[in-house]
Structure 1
Amino acid sequence: MTKRSVIKFGGTSVADFTKLKNIAGYLKKRTEQDEQLVVVVSAMGKTTDELLRNVDLLSSAPNEQDLALLLTTGEQQTISYLSIILKELDVRTQALTGFQAGIRTKGHHLKSKILNIKEQKFEETFSSHDVIVVAGFQGMNELGEITTLGRGGSDTTAVAIASALDVSCEIYTDVAGVYGTDPRIFPAKRLDYVSYEEMMEMSALGAGVLETRSVEIAKNYNIPIYLGQTLSDEKGTWIMAQEEILEKKAVTGVALDKDMDYVTVSYPMNDSELLKKLFELLEKEEVNIDMISQIVNMDGLQISFTMKDTDAQQIDKIFSVLKEEYPSLNFVIQEDYVKVSVIGSGMRDMSGVASKVFMTLLNHNIPFYQVTTSEISISYVVDQANGQEAVKQLCAVFEL
C-alpha cells in the first residue's frame, strides 16, 4: 500500500536554487520508495522580510487585505520553482496555492485561522500525481479573499493538512530537533521526545521552533510531528502525546521570548467600563495578551500585560479609540524587556521548582518585574540585557 506523508520545509531550507534542487532529489527518492507526498513550503529565505521593507517605503499603515495579497506571493514563488525542478526530474507533481488546495480561513487577513481543508482535492490530485507542493502560510476566507496565517503559518498549514489526511507530519528546518533551549545561548541537549503540552508552552513562550497553533492541531487530532534538520541523517525530535513518553523531567526547557512588548495602561479613576472596553477591543483585534496584572489604589487604575510585538499596529489602533473617550488615559509600550520561561510537565508532580527558579535569579542579581504560572510553566519579565544570562543560569541549574 502506498504510504502518504506531509513534509514541510522552512524558509532557510529553500533559500536558494541549490537547496531547492537538493530537496527535489530527496523527494524523488522517496517517491521511488512508493510514497505519495504533500510538500508544504515557506517563502525563500528572507523574501517575506524584503516584501515588508518595500511596504514600509510606501505606507506606515498599509491595508491588511493588500498586505496579505502581497505576502502570499513569496510562498507562490517557492512552489512554482520546486514544481519546475521536480518535473525536470520526471516526478509527477502538482503545485497548489492555499486557495487551490481548499484551505478555508476566517478572521483577520494577516493572522487568520484555518476553518477547514477539503480532503477531496488532495485525493483527486493524488490519483495522477505523486507529489503535491502546497504554499504554506495562506488560505482563502468566506469572501474569496486571500489571507495569511500569521507568523509560523506554514507549520500550521502542514499540520492541518496532515490532520485532514490522517497522516504523520515531518517538519524540516535548519536545526536538528527541539533543544532544552536555544543552542546559540546555552549548549542544551537535544530532546528525543516532547509532549504536545510542553511543546505548546515552549512555542507560546518564545521558543521559535514551531508555531503554537500547529502543535495544538496536532494534539487535537493526535498527529505525531517529527522535527528534524533538512537533508540530515542526524536524529530529530518526535512531538507526541504525553502518555506515550515514559520519562517526565521536572524541567524540559527554558524559553526566551524577545519578540514581546510590555504594556502599562493607567487611568486616574477606577473605571470598570474602561477595562471592559479595553478587553472587548483586544478580542476584536485578536491581540493575545499574557502576564496580566492590575493595581487599583488612590492614584486610580493601572494594568500591565505582555503581548507579541507583531501586534503593535493593532494595539496603537485600540488606544487611539480609547483615548477619544478617555482623554486622561495613559499608556506606555516598552520594548526593552524579555520573557524568560521554565517549562516541564514534571512540575505537576514535583515540588521545589518555583523556589529553585526564584533563588537562581536572585543569586545572580537578575531582577524580575512580573511573574505568571501555569501547570507546567513559570514565566518572568526581565530586562532585555539580562535575558540570555537568565537562560544560561536556569539551564545550568536544571541540567539541561
Structure 2
Amino acid sequence: MKRRVLKFGGTSVASIDKIKAIAEYLKDRTARDEQLVVVVSAMGKTTDELLKTVSSITKTPKEQDLAVLLTTGEQQTISYLSIMLNDLDVAAKPLTGFQAGIETVGHHLKSKISKINTDYFEQLFEIHDVLIVAGFQGFNTDGEITTLGRGGSDTTAVALAAALESPCEIYTDVAGVYSTDPRIYPEARRLEEVSYEEMMEMSALGAGVLVTRSVEIAKNYNIPIYLGKTLSDERGTWVMARTEMLEKKAVTGVALDKDMIHVTLTYPQYDTVLLDNTFMYLEQEEINVDMISQITNNDGLQLSFTMKDTEETQIQKIFSKLQEVYPDLYVKIEDRFVKVSVIGSGMRDMTGVASKVFRTLIEANVPFYQVTTSEISISYVVDADNGEHAARLLCGRFDL
C-alpha cells in the first residue's frame, strides 16, 4: 500500500460541509489502495476565538493553561472528520498529539518537536486506513500538553512525513506558491516548483504559505512537499531540492512582510553588558530578531532590529526588566514599516540582481531604511505606505 501524509488547514475545515467534502475525498483516496495520515487544523477562526475569550478573563494567562485550551480546536476537527469517515465505512481513528507520540521541548506555546514514535502508527494501520492527527500539538517530558506555535500544523504534517518516510501534501485555500501575493500583484505566476532554500526564505520573509520550520524539516529529511488547493484539480507547487529543479531563475519571488515591528534601543553610552543582557533575554524568550544594526559613537549606543509583531507583548516585558537596571535606556517600537524581499536561488550564480533592486526603488522614489542580504535574498525595510507599491515594482522589474 502507498502511504501519504496530507494536511488540511483551518480554512479547508472551516465548516461541517467542508469537512464532509474532505471525508468523501479521503474515501476516494483509500479506494486507490492508499493509507493516509491526515493532519488537520482547528476549524476556521476557532483558535482566534479561544484567545479572544481568554483575553476577556486575563491579560497574563499561564502558558500551560493556554496550551491545554488551544489544543481543543484541533481535537474538535479530528473528531468530526473521524466520525464522518467511519460513517462512510472508512476505518478511521482520531489521534491527539500525545496519542501520535509527538514529543516536544521548549516553551509550552512554541515548542519544537524532539522525536516522534511511529510504532503506534504501524499497529493502527493494521486495522485502519486513515489516521487523523491533531496538528499544532504535542507533549513534553513532564507529560504536559504543548503547542508548536504559529503554523504548527504544517510542522506536524512534515515531521510525520519525515518520521514515516512518506511524501507530504499540504492543502489550503490557494493553488500553490506564487511569485508574490496575487492580491497585491494580480499578474503573479504560480510556481510549478520551488527549492527548499527559496521556500524557507519566502516563508521567513513574510510569504505566509508555509512556516519556515516545516520546510527546514523537509529539507533535512529530503521530503518533497506538494502545496495545492483543497479539493481542486488545479495544479499546485512542489517544494523540492534545488538539484532536482529543471529551471533556476535569478529571482523566483517577492515577499512582503506586513506583520513586523521595528525596535530601536538608545543608551547614552556603549555598554556591552546591556547588549549581552538584551540578547540573553531574547534567547530565553525564544524571540527571533531580524535585520539587526548597531551604531556606536559619541552619543552612545543605538541598536535596531525587526521582529514579528506577535512577539510585542514579550518584548515589552524584556524592556521593562532592562529599564529597571538601566533607567536611561530609551526604547522605541514602531509598526509603520514593512519588509519587502527579493528571493531566488539563482542569485548565487548571477550578478546584477542587487543593482536592479536598488535602482528600481531609487527611480521610484521609494526610501528604504535598512537592508540585509543572504545568499539568495535581499530585504529592505520601507514605509508601510510604500510596501505594496514596492512589491509590484519589483515583480514587474523581474518579470514575475
Q: TM-score, normalised by structure 1?
A: 0.99
C-alpha displacement of 1:196: 0.2
Letter matched to residue 107 of structure 1: G
Distance 2:221 2:13 in 1: 28
C-alpha displacement of 1:316: 1.3
Q: Deviations along 1:163-186, whole A, 9 cap, x unmatched?
A: 000000000000000000001111
C-alpha displacement of 1:20: 0.3
- Correspondence list, 1:307-322, <5 A: 307-322=307-322
Q: Deviations along 1:64-92, whole A, 9 cap, x unmatched?
A: 11111111111011001101111110110
Q: Give SS of 2:57's match.
A: coil
Indicate the residue corresponding to 1:219 in structure 2. 219
Q: Which runs of 5 or more residues in structure 1 are unaligned? A: none
- Correspondence list, 1:79-118, <5 A: 79-118=78-117
Distance 2:147 2:335 in 1: 26
- Correspondence list, 1:188-337, <5 A: 188-337=188-337
Q: Does 1:138 align with 2:137?
A: yes
Letter matched to residue 118 of structure 1: N
Q: Does 1:173 align with 2:145?
A: no
Q: Which runs of 5 or more residues in structure 2 are unaligned? A: none
Letter matched to residue 44 of structure 2: G
Letter matched to residue 271 of structure 1: D
C-alpha displacement of 1:121: 1.4
Q: Give SS of 2:313's match.
A: helix
Distance 2:274 2:116 in 1: 40
Distance 1:319 1:61 in 2: 17
Percent identity of the aligned residues? Answer: 71
Letter matched to residue 376 of structure 2: I
C-alpha displacement of 1:240: 0.3
C-alpha displacement of 1:60: 1.6
Q: Deviations along 1:200-252, whole A, 9 cap, x unmatched?
A: 00000000000100000000000000000000001100000000012110100
C-alpha displacement of 1:125: 1.1
Runs of 4+ in 1 over 6 A off after TM superposition: none
Q: Deviations along 1:289-338, whole A, 9 cap, x unmatched?
A: 00000000111100000011111122112111111111111111111111
Indicate the residue corresponding to 1:56 in structure 2. 55
Indicate the residue corresponding to 1:349 in structure 2. 349
Distance 1:296 1:59 in 2: 41
Letter matched to residue 399 of structure 1: D
Q: Give SS of 1:190's match.
A: coil
Q: Give SS of 1:295's match.
A: strand
Letter matched to residue 110 of structure 1: L
Distance 1:98 1:246 in 2: 38
C-alpha displacement of 1:367: 0.8
Distance 2:231 2:204 in 1: 27
Letter matched to residue 94 of structure 2: A
Letter matched to residue 153 of structure 1: G
Q: Give SS of 2:4's match.
A: strand
Q: Deviations along 1:40-85, whole A, 9 cap, x unmatched?
A: 0000011111111111111122211111111111101100110111
Length, aligned pairs only: 399
Distance 1:61 1:260 in 2: 22
Distance 1:147 1:365 in 2: 47
Indicate the residue corresponding to 1:396 in structure 2. 396
Say what the alpha-carbon RMSD is for the aligned residues.
0.7
Letter matched to residue 176 of structure 2: G
